């Protein structure tokens, strides 16, 4: 209710009465909104917007609306509405109410008529190309009579003009110098919610602040590029003499080594550079979920980034946030990516043994799982060398190693090679750890394992800013990292993961975090 105290807020003779009415409706409650356009998949930048809007409301005992900015029927699809809400809820937030800009089309149209009557808007016939850019010529129709604009606007609504033949423009100069932004344009496209009722649709510049006013939003939070529209936000509410919320800006979240533009992601999919919008090399929220990033990690990342404006963040901070969460959430398991067969010639029991492995070694109260232990096991090829270098501590002739969790130390007795001289099997002996000399290292292993496909991902692009023509003169598609995906089709993993479901996460010991 103290909107009038903020810098740049315009106080009119009716401001205090409007604020009093606003407080009677909200009771002084903080109200925010997350207003995505339903024409694409949300990305990491949207995660910051979700966290700022829902998080600020939650921190102040308020509420947050999920409002779809569905004013462009050409690009909107039902799958995007569904996916947006799914991602908001995946990040842990529940909207106070789900609304649509189209809920208010009747009211917005009525206000447009009032704007014309008050001399603040007019119908213009300049082409889109004419009014683009920073210094377009002024409209020759700016001072046409109110009555004429009212009739022409009604003709626009009735479909008497073709697309691009007429627009409704507001009489104001924005902070970036843009003059008379468009309030309504003609589109002969059925709307997914209102059908053929309308052939004129409001623009963002007109719709946004008025929807905020209708929903009695207290804090209209948006990224820095909208700072140039703050004065027009205040101007429009005051021109119509309606409750005026306050716009606050925060720094946009940009990540290095990636692109998030819908148009560019479509190009990546079309050219086969990635599989789809949820390819784990992308930074859409569906891709991050599929990659295995927990929602808590993304929220923590947004909190650490804060309101700051910065040219670009590396993914290292995001990955650090993921590791902190996964260390507490992902149970340990053993997997071998490049298997080398090992036969234990003096296996202690002719029957198979079972090894008890803690799900979280640092906290054994969180349970255990059983792993088979038989005479044949598999270790990583890289955990064996025929010749020992200085500093190498793993398995080699004359250099035993311990087997994690098994309670045994193995020593090489015989090396078996194929015709090309490649090592294909080791024969070893085992000794109980409590009687053997302490080995220099312990390695992971599997026995009676499951075969699985493992995908190892690296950065999709080679340069920090693949969209920058100075860094990448050939365009972002020329900057693809040829090693961004490595598929291992015959990896081995222990049977403890057999019941795993999609998006379950594990820490494969000594390798990293993996998600189904």
Catalytic machinery residues: 37, 252, 262
CA distance 48 to 301: 9
Strand partners, 507: 332, 513
Residues 6+ positions from 33 with CB-CB distance below 8 Å:
53, 64, 65, 66, 67, 211, 212, 215, 217, 220
Count of CA atoms in the C-beta half-sphere (13 A) of 206:
29
CA distance 80 to 149: 36
Radius of gyration of the chain (CA): 31
Q: In residues, how long is the chain?
A: 516
Q: Reduce the DSSP state of residue 336 to 3 states and report it.
A: strand
* CB-count exposure of residue 289 (10 Å: 0-12, 13-18, 19+): buried
Beta carbons of 305 and 253 less than 8 angstroms apart: yes
Beta carbons of 105 and 198 less than 8 angstroms apart: yes
Strand partners, 461: 480
Count CB neighbours of 450 within 10 A. 14
């Amino acid at each position: 209710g103290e909107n009038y105290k903020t810098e740049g807020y315009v106080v009119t003779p009716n401001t205090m009465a409007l604020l009093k009415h606003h407080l009677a409706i909200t009771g002084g409650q903080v109200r925010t909104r997350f207003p995505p356009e339903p024409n694409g998949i949300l990305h990491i930048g949207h995660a910051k917007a979700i966290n700022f809007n829902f998080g600020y409301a939650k921190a102040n005992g308020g509420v947050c609306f999920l409002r779809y900015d569905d004013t462009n029927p050409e690009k909107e699809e039902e799958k995007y509405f569904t996916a947006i809400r799914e991602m908001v809820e995946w990040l842990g937030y529940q909207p106070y109410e789900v609304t649509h800009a189209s809920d208010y089309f009747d009211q917005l149209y009525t206000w447009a008529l009032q704007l014309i009557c008050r001399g603040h808007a007019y119908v213009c016939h300049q082409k889109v190309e004419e009014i683009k850019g920073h210094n377009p010529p002024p409209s020759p129709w700016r001072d046409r009579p109110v009555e004429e604009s009212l009739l022409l606007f009604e003709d626009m609504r009735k479909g008497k003009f073709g697309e691009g033949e007429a627009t409704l423009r507001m009489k104001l100069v924005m902070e970036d110098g843009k003059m008379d932004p468009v309030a309504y344009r003609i589109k002969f496209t059925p709307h997914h919610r209102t059908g053929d009722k309308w052939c004129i649709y409001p623009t963002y510049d007109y719709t946004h602040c008025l929807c905020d006013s209708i929903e009695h939003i207290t804090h209209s939070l948006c990224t820095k590029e909208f700072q140039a529209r703050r004065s027009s936000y205040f101007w429009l509410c005051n021109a119509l003499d309606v409750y005026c919320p306050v716009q606050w800006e925060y720094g946009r979240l940009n990540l290095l080594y990636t692109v998030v533009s819908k148009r560019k992601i479509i190009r990546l999919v079309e050219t086969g550079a990635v599989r789809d919008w949820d390819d784990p090399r992308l930074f859409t929220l569906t891709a991050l979920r599929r990659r295995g990033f927990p929602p808590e990690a993304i929220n923590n990342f947004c909190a650490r980034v804060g309101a700051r404006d910065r040219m670009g963040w590396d993914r290292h901070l995001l990955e650090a946030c993921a590791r902190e969460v996964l260390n507490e959430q992902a149970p340990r398991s053993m997997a071998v990516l490049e298997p080398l067969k090992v036969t234990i010639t003096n296996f202690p029991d002719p029957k198979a043994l079972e090894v008890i492995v803690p799900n979280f070694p640092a906290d054994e109260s969180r349970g255990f799982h059983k792993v088979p232990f038989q005479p044949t096991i598999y270790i990583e090829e890289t955990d064996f060398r025929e010749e020992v270098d200085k500093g190498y501590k793993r398995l080699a002739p004359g250099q035993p190693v311990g087997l994690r969790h098994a309670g045994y130390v193995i020593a090489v007795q015989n090396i078996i090679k194929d015709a090309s001289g490649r090592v294909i099997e080791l024969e070893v002996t085992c000794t109980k750890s409590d009687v053997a000399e302490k080995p220099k290292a312990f390695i992971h292993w599997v026995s009676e394992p499951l075969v699985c496909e493992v995908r190892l991902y690296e950065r999709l692009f080679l340069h920090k800013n693949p969209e920058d023509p100075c860094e990448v003169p050939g365009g972002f598609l020329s900057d693809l990292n040829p090693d961004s995906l490595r598929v291992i089709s015959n990896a081995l993993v222990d049977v403890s993961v057999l019941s795993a479901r999609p998006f379950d996460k594990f820490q494969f010991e000594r390798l990293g975090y993996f998600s189904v």
